[in-house]
Amino acid sequence: MTQTATQRPVHWRPARVAEVREETATTRTIAFDVPGWPGHVAGQHVDVRLTAEDGYQAERSYSIASPPDGHRVELTIQRVPDGELSSYMCAEMRAGDEAELRGPVGGWFVWHPEESTPVLLVAGGSGVVPLMAMLRERARAGSTAPFSLLYSVRNPEVALYAGELDALARDGGGLDVSLLFSDAAPEGTTRPVGRIRPDDLAGTGLPAGSAGRAYVCGPTAFVEAVAGLLADHGYDPSNVRTERFGPTGG
Amino acid sequence: MAVVTRGFVGRRDPTTAQLPPGQYLTPDFPVLSAGPTPRIAVDQWRFTITAETGSQHGWTWRELLDLPSEQPTVDIHCVTKWSKLGTHWQGVSLDTLLEPVQTQAGYALVRSYGGYSTNLPLADLRGGKAWIAYRYDGGDLPAEHGGPARLLVPHLYFWKSAKWVSGIELRTDDMPGFWETMGYHSYGDPWRDQRYAGD
Amino acid sequence: MSDGEYVDGNAAAGMLAEAFRTEVSTATVTCGNCGRSGRFADRHVYDRGPGLVARCPHCGEVNARMVRTPTDVWLELHGSTSWRIPAPPA
Q: Does C17 touch chain A (CB under 8 A)?
A: yes
CATH node for A12-105: 2.40.30.10
Please tell me which residue of chain B has the smallest CA distance to A94: B6
Q: Do B6 and A99 touch (CB under 8 A)?
A: no
Please tell me which residue of chain C has the smallest CA distance to B36: C3
C-alpha span between C7 and B196 (Å, rounded): 25
As beta bridge partners, residue A111 has: none
What domain count does chain B have?
1
Q: Do B4 and A14 touch (CB under 8 A)?
A: no
Give the pLDDT of residue A5.
55
Q: Does C43 touch chain B (CB under 8 A)?
A: no
B197 within domain boundaries? no
Residue A250 pLDDT class (50, 70, 90 cuts): very low
Distance (Å) from the C-alpha of residue B159 to the closest C-alpha of chain C?
A: 8
Q: Does A98 touch chain B (CB under 8 A)?
A: yes
Number of neighbouring beta carbons within 10 Å of residue A183 = 11
Give the pLDDT of residue C18.
82
Dump pLDDT digits (tens) for A149-189.
999 999 999 999 999 999 999 986 899 999 999 999 999 99
B151 within domain boundaries? yes
User: Chain B residues with CB inside 8 Å of A82's CB?
Assistant: 11, 28
Give mean pLDDT, residues A2-25: 81
Distance (Å) from the C-alpha of residue A242 to the closest C-alpha of chain C?
A: 8
When comparing pLDDT for C65 and B16, which is higher? Answer: C65
User: Chain A residues with CB inside 8 Å of B81's CB?
Assistant: 56
Dump pLDDT digits (tens) for A40-57.
999 999 999 999 987 888
B61 within domain boundaries? yes
Cα(first)–Cα(last) distance of chain C, in Å?
A: 40
Give the pLDDT of residue A6.
57
Whether A16 contacts A30, CB under 8 Å: no
Give the pLDDT of residue C48.
82
B94 within domain boundaries? yes
Report the DSSP pairing between strands A98-105 and A175-181: unpaired
From the list B2, B6, B11, which residue is nearest A57 (CB)? B2
User: Chain C residues with CB inside 8 Å of B195's CB?
Assistant: 69
Percent of chain A past pLDDT 90, that is, above it, reads 73
Whether A180 contacts A196, CB under 8 Å: yes
For residue B142, the enclosing domain spans 42-192
User: By three-state DSSP, how is residue B121 classified?
Assistant: strand
Letter for the amino acid at A121? Answer: L
Give the pLDDT of residue B1.
58
Query: Is the model's pLDDT at A249 over the cut of 50?
Result: no
Give mean pLDDT, residues A23-34: 96
A119-244 is a CATH 3.40.50.300 domain: no
Please tell me which residue of chain A has the smallest CA distance to C90: A1
Average pLDDT, chain A: 90
Best probe of the B interface among A13, A17, A32, A51, by most B CBs < 10 A, is A51
Best probe of the C interface among A244, A245, A248, by most C CBs < 10 A, is A244
Dump pLDDT digits (tens) for A91-115.
999 999 999 999 898 889 999 999 9
C-alpha span between B148 and B65 (Å, rounded): 11
Q: Do B36 and C5 touch (CB under 8 A)?
A: yes
In A75-94, the residues whose Cβ lies within 8 Å of chain B are 82, 84, 88, 92-93
Helix, strand and coil in chain A, % to nearest 5: 20, 35, 45
Calculated CA dihedral for residues A160, A161, A167, A170, nearest 10 degrees: -30
From the list C2, C10, C39, which residue is nearest A243 (CB)? C10
For residue A128, which of A108, A103, A150, A101 has the smallest C-alpha distance? A150
User: Chain A residues with CB inside 8 Å of C7's CB?
Assistant: 220, 244-246
Which element (helix H / strand E) includes A227?
A: helix A220-232
Report the DSSP pairing between strands C37-39 and A213-218: unpaired
Of how many residues is chain B composed? 199
Distance (Å) from the C-alpha of residue B152 to the closest C-alpha of chain A?
A: 26
Distance (Å) from the C-alpha of residue B187 to the closest C-alpha of chain C?
A: 15
Q: Which region among A198-207, B47-56, C38-47, C48-57 has the lowest average model confidence (pLDDT)?
A: A198-207
Best probe of the B interface among C43, C61, C65, C75, by most B CBs < 10 A, is C65
Distance (Å) from the C-alpha of residue B99 to the closest C-alpha of chain C?
A: 33
C-alpha span between B127 and B134 (Å, rounded): 20
- Name the residue ranges covered by the structural domains of chain A: 12-105, 119-244
Please tell me which residue of chain C has the smallest CA distance to A62: C11
Who's near A82: CB < 8 A, 6+ residues apart? B11, B28
CA distances from A227 to A153, A242, C29 (A): 17, 8, 21
Give the pLDDT of residue A209.
67
For residue C86, which of A215, A40, A114, A108 has the smallest C-alpha distance? A108
C-alpha span between C57 and A244 (Å, rounded): 13
User: Chain C residues with CB inside 8 Å of B184's CB?
Assistant: 50, 67
Alpha helices in chain B (DSSP H): 61-66, 94-98
Letter for the amino acid at A124? Answer: G
Whether A110 contacts A215, CB under 8 Å: no
Q: What is the mean pLDDT of each run of 10 residues along chain B (199 residues)?
A: 84 68 85 91 97 97 98 95 94 98 98 97 97 97 96 98 98 97 96 93
B187 within domain boundaries? yes
User: Chain B residues with CB inside 8 Å of A58's CB?
Assistant: 10-11
User: Chain C residues with CB inside 8 Å of A219's CB?
Assistant: 4
C-alpha span between A77 and A41 (Å, rounded): 19
As beta bridge partners, residue A242 has: A216
Give the pLDDT of residue C4.
57
Who's near B138: CB < 8 A, 6+ residues apart? B88
Whether C53 contacts C36, CB under 8 Å: no
Give the pLDDT of residue A123.
97
CATH assignment at residue B152: 3.90.420.10
Q: Do C5 and B182 touch (CB under 8 A)?
A: no
B154 within domain boundaries? yes
CA distances from B155 to A2, B78, B86, B97 (A): 54, 11, 13, 19
Number of neighbouring beta carbons within 10 Å of residue B104 = 10
Give the pLDDT of residue C16.
85
Query: Is the model's pLDDT at C2 over the cut of 50?
Result: no
From the list A12, A51, A84, which residue is nearest B5 (CB)? A51
Chains linked to B by 3 or more Cβ pairs within 8 Å:
A, C
From the list B34, B37, B159, which residue is nearest C3 (CB)? B37
Number of neighbouring beta carbons within 10 Å of residue C70 = 7
From the list B35, B182, B195, which residue is nearest C46 (CB)? B35
Residue A10 pLDDT class (50, 70, 90 cuts): confident
